[in-house]
Amino acid sequence: MPAIIIDGKEYRYEGEGRNLLEVCLSLGFAVPYFCWHPAMHAVGACRQCAVKVFTDETDTRGKIVMSCMTAAADGMRVAIHDPEVADFRARVIEWLMVNHPHDCAVCDEGGECHLQDMTVMTGHVSRRYRFDKRTYRNQELGPFVHHEMNRCIQCYRCVRFYRDYAGGRDLEVFGAHDHVYFGRFADGVLESPFSGNLVEVCPTGVFTDKVFKEQYARKWDLATAPSVCTLCGHGCNILPGARDGTLRRVRNRYHHAVNGYFICDRGRYGFQFVNSEFRVRTPLLRDGGTLRAASADEALARVRTVLAEGTVAGIGSPRASVEANYALRALVGAERFCHGLPEKEFTLLEALVALMRSARTPFPTLPEVERADAVIILGEDLANTAPRLELALRQAARIVPDELEAAALGVLPFDDAALRAATQGGTHPLFLAVTGATSLDAMATARCRAVPDELARLALAVAHRLDPSAPAVTDLGADAAALADRIADALRTAKRPLLICGASAGSPALIAAAGQLLRALDTAGTAPMLRVVAPACDSMGVALLGGISLEEAARADTLIILDSEQLSAAQVAGATHIICLDSLLTEIGERAEVVLPAATFAESGGTLVNSDGLAQRFFQVFVPEGDIRESWRWIAEILGQPWANLDALLAEIAAELPVFAPMREAAPPADYRLDGQKIPRQSPRCSGRTAMTAHVSVHEPVPPDDPDSPLAFSMEGASGQPPAPLVPRFWAPGWNSVQAVNTFQEEVGGPLREGVLCRVIVPAGSAPPAAPVPPAFVPREDALLILPAYHLFGSEPLSLLTPGIAALAPAPYLALHPADAARLGVTVGSMVTVTLGETALTLPVVPREDVPRGAGLLSVGLVETPDALPAWGAVRGGAHA
């Protein structure tokens, strides 16, 4: 292990080819910085991280260097606390303050501002600049991000994130000298689905969270707890913050293997349903024709009565925790428990689990995805089905230093600008086999847009080229055959090929073909990585739990339903009695016998199994108003309290269903104590504790108990850093901003200390399911094959309760190829009627060249669609809209 001498003392450090700044930060030294970002590396612009290096022990003068642009080397002598360089760092802050407005008292960033922290760190206190400051006009950037350019310190992080890292085009840097402007060409909604990260990337208050602004609380007054995003299957870790009974904002919670430093805008802003006016806050009971509020006892008595009558089925949910689903299963019995999905959809999940278990190579973590050197995506429009993965693939597509022979060229591996200059946007092979245009099209080496069966045929053709013993596709068209050759060559020669496949295309044939391709890649000796995309936050959890289909469950007299917002009223129309465990009053809830008010993710704890088979624990953030309880707790009440707390429930799950046994390790148990104390959800600076309820009683209320976790609803408790799954906020002395995460990592950019990766689905090398070659697609004269099209804003129903997301969601549509539009005699702006089974949908037509001939893309989530797509739909032209 190399050693470095800092301020006269020797330290061992990890890692080859790291810069001095990362090494110093990893060792716990406070070196201030702005433009460097652990995910975006160094560009040397801000000059804040200056340190001195000395050639040898006789060198007393030393030389000032930027630590971010200097490679750490064994035996290097460095001074951080040298007076000359310390003064230089203070002067850099003073320069930044030349134009910074010092409006901290009214700034949304105040209290978690990296600029504040760095100012204090350098010791700069008084400004000697006595002339005018420059001012800018701010821009209106849409519902999520507030713009306040006067505060800008020109670190260039925003454009580096937005453009270079996330592939956005509509945020730029304009102007020169001391009049540099970061914004859009004109006011307008930021187009990138990752725009919210600007809020965390910006070291000061230029880009702030507009949703938070509208329900602002001082950051140190927010109660926070480790949580997991429930708005897609990826399972990004998040830090929701609550105050006074409402959820105020969501921030990224760094998880090395899952989401790193960034989340998407659905995840950041889609939480507003927690505060919705449609929340059920007290048990509701049907009395005569209407629902009325009732006490818990009354409601539970009715539930017990109803459950005693006729046949009962419990409908679980891929959006509910494993614990909630298991509790329901325990209530109704395994044979009466439904996973909450129509048969066709559940079959897809089972196929995905089988695909994962057929893998032989460990599933890649996020950094491993980012290091893939050849990628094939089967059927997923990732920006809309797993956005965080899309962002990772943008990095995977980039050529990385070791392939560049960077050292020979003199390129330092952490010098982002030099790497970009050297690679000139050079990318790894990325192949898209999808049903329409995607955000990755521009970086794709080649793409195939076709209906799922055709995509499956392509994947099988590639598999056959890699492994001749795999079934051949004999009637493949010339173009597809040439593409298959190209893909096979690229994957065969890759060192770290990655295959991505999911359930979005709705095609078991495609998943089966992915299995063949994965095995063929294995046979060809490439150690292929697999990444699966599942639709919901606990899809994989219910896939492992199993159960009867929704169709079968719906035949029961009495239904007890978890999270009925995922179902349509038509799907459960046959039931006589319905009991809902819901957080929102739904259409189904409106006709239920009893609605028990269920906690959202922010008001409960539990475990979710993400697309990747990782079991992740989320913790209750705040205690809601009213009689809201965790779904599993309501069920426990019905059952007569079989589980004392979450740990007891987890223990039973592990005993009953060994597949979930590892799940107990996802976080320390409730009796875990740090330094003999619980871990506070509130910061030590939390204010108003004694005043907030003073109008009721001058006595301070006892904080609510939390029997389910080692976290406390309080500002009192352990002050040290807890193990990774329990970290409720990133804060360290002197580090009030999100940058404090540096102090929680094993080393900068690495895993959090004492982190766990708790997999309940593991690569087992089992035989991939057979994949018969589907017949070639034949378009029909009278109908289109209707395929699902997904939208980040629109296809997930809960997030649509966030006004900004609803505003950005597209109107429902049917997209079809212009040739098909002409054939069917429909034009832009006209309405068509699509008949799917017994449902007729009337939608405006969007002709799009990217839609496969003979197919139609239907925006899912925006219109209520009958069960699973793809399905043939008769299309009839209609009147102009």
Partner 1 sequence: MPDLREYAGAGGYAGLRAALKMTPTEVQGMVKAANLRGRGGAGFPTGVKWGAVPLGPAARRPKYLVVNADEMEPGVMKDRLLMEGNPHQLIEGIIIAAHAIEAEHAFIFIRLAYREAAERLRRAIAEATAHGYLGENILGSGFSLDIRVHRSAGRYICGEETALLNALEGKRPIPRAKPPFPQTVGLWGQPTVVNNVETLCNVPHILRNGPEWFRGLSRSADGGTKLYGASGRVRRPGAWELPMGTPLREILEAHAGGMEEGYQLRGLLPGGASTDFLTPAHLDLPMDFASVMGAGSRLGTGTIVVLDDRTCPVSLLISLEQFFARESCGWCTPCREGLPWVVRLLRALEDGDGRQEDIARLEEHTRLLGPGRTFCALAPGAMEPLQSALHYFREDFTRHVTERGCPWRKELVV
Site residues (vs partner 1, CB under 8 A):
43-48, 50, 63-65, 69, 88, 91-92, 95-96, 98-99, 128-129, 131, 153-154, 156, 173, 175-180, 408-412, 415, 417-418, 421-424, 426
Q: How far is the CB of 59 from partner 1 (least distance, A)?
A: 15
Nearer to partner 1, 31 or 498 (CB): 31
- Tokens in use for 745? 């990592």
Residue corresponding to tokens 């989530």: 861
Burial label for 86, CB within 10 Å (0-12, 13-18, 19+), is middle
Nearer to partner 1, 114 or 256 (CB): 114
| 261 neighbors 386 (Cβ within 8 angstroms) | no
Nearer to partner 1, 173 or 831 (CB): 173
Nearer to partner 1, 164 or 200 (CB): 164
Q: How far is the CB of 152 from partner 1 (least distance, A)?
A: 11
Burial label for 478, CB within 10 Å (0-12, 13-18, 19+), is exposed
Nearer to partner 1, 173 or 648 (CB): 173
Q: Which amino acid is at 454?
A: E
- Tokens in use for 502? 């999911």
Q: How far is the CB of 46 from partner 1 (least distance, A)?
A: 5
Nearer to partner 1, 32 or 728 (CB): 32
Q: How far is the CB of 441 from partner 1 (least distance, A)?
A: 22
Q: How far is the CB of 427 from partner 1 (least distance, A)?
A: 13
Nearer to partner 1, 169 or 179 (CB): 179
Nearer to partner 1, 179 or 495 (CB): 179
Q: How far is the CB of 48 from partner 1 (least distance, A)?
A: 7
Nearer to partner 1, 46 or 444 (CB): 46
Q: How far is the CB of 184 from partner 1 (least distance, A)?
A: 16
**SS3 of 131-173:** CCCCCCCCCCCCCCEEECHHHCCCCCHHHHHHHHHCCCCCCEE
Residue corresponding to tokens 């809830």: 589
Q: Which of 146, 125, 126 is nearest to 196 (CA)?
A: 146
Nearer to partner 1, 98 or 149 (CB): 98
Question: Can you say whether the dihedral through the CA atoms of 205, 208, 213, 217 is positive or negative?
Answer: negative
Q: How far is the CB of 609 from partner 1 (least distance, A)?
A: 44
Q: How far is the CB of 84 from partner 1 (least distance, A)?
A: 9
Q: Give the three-state DSSP class for 458.
A: helix
Question: Whole-angstrom Cα distance, residue 597 to residue 627?
Answer: 7
Question: Whole-angstrom Cα distance, residue 330 to residue 632?
Answer: 10
Q: Give the three-state DSSP class for 491.
A: helix
Burial label for 420, CB within 10 Å (0-12, 13-18, 19+), is middle
Q: How far is the CB of 99 from partner 1 (least distance, A)?
A: 7
Nearer to partner 1, 149 or 806 (CB): 149
**SS3 of 812-841:** CCEEECHHHHHHHCCCCCEEEEEEECCEEE
- Tokens in use for 568? 């349509």
Cα dihedral 382, 387, 389, 395 in deg (nearest 10):
100
Nearer to partner 1, 153 or 351 (CB): 153
Question: Can you say whether the dihedral through the CA atoms of 348, 354, 360, 361 is positive or negative?
Answer: positive
Q: Which of 487, 582, 492, 17 is nearest to 284 (CA)?
A: 582
| DSSP at 855 | E
Residue corresponding to tokens 């009721």: 696
Residue corresponding to tokens 């509130």: 682
Question: Whole-angstrom Cα distance, residue 144 to residue 194?
Answer: 10
Nearer to partner 1, 37 or 243 (CB): 37
Question: Whole-angstrom Cα distance, residue 776 to residue 778?
Answer: 6
Q: How far is the CB of 496 from partner 1 (least distance, A)?
A: 23
Angle separating helix axes 631-639 and 296-307, nearest 10 degrees: 70
What is the DSSP secondary-structure string of 215-273? T---GGG-EE--EE--SSSS--EEEEEEETTEEEEEEE--BTTTTBT---HHHHHGGGG
Q: How far is the CB of 417 from partner 1 (least distance, A)?
A: 6
Nearer to partner 1, 420 or 759 (CB): 420
Nearer to partner 1, 79 or 543 (CB): 79
Q: How far is the CB of 54 from partner 1 (least distance, A)?
A: 14
Neighbours of 550 (CB within 10 A): 23
Which helix or strand (DSSP H or E) is residue 433 part of? strand 430-434
Q: How far is the CB of 92 from partner 1 (least distance, A)?
A: 5
Q: How far is the CB of 20 from partner 1 (least distance, A)?
A: 14
Nearer to partner 1, 51 or 798 (CB): 51
Q: How far is the CB of 749 from partner 1 (least distance, A)?
A: 20
Question: Whole-angstrom Cα distance, residue 746 to residue 96?
Answer: 31
Q: Which of 610, 674, 618 is nearest to 646 (CA)?
A: 618
Cβ partners under 8 Å of residue 837, min gap 6: 866, 867, 871
- Tokens in use for 495? 């060192």
Half-sphere exposure of 61 (CA within 13 A, CB side): 1
Q: How far is the CB of 135 from partner 1 (least distance, A)?
A: 14
Nearer to partner 1, 63 or 81 (CB): 63
CA geometry: angle 346, 782, 824, nearest 5 deg: 115
- Tokens in use for 618? 């989320």
Q: How far is the CB of 404 from partner 1 (least distance, A)?
A: 9
| 431 neighbors 444 (Cβ within 8 angstroms) | yes
Nearer to partner 1, 159 or 313 (CB): 159
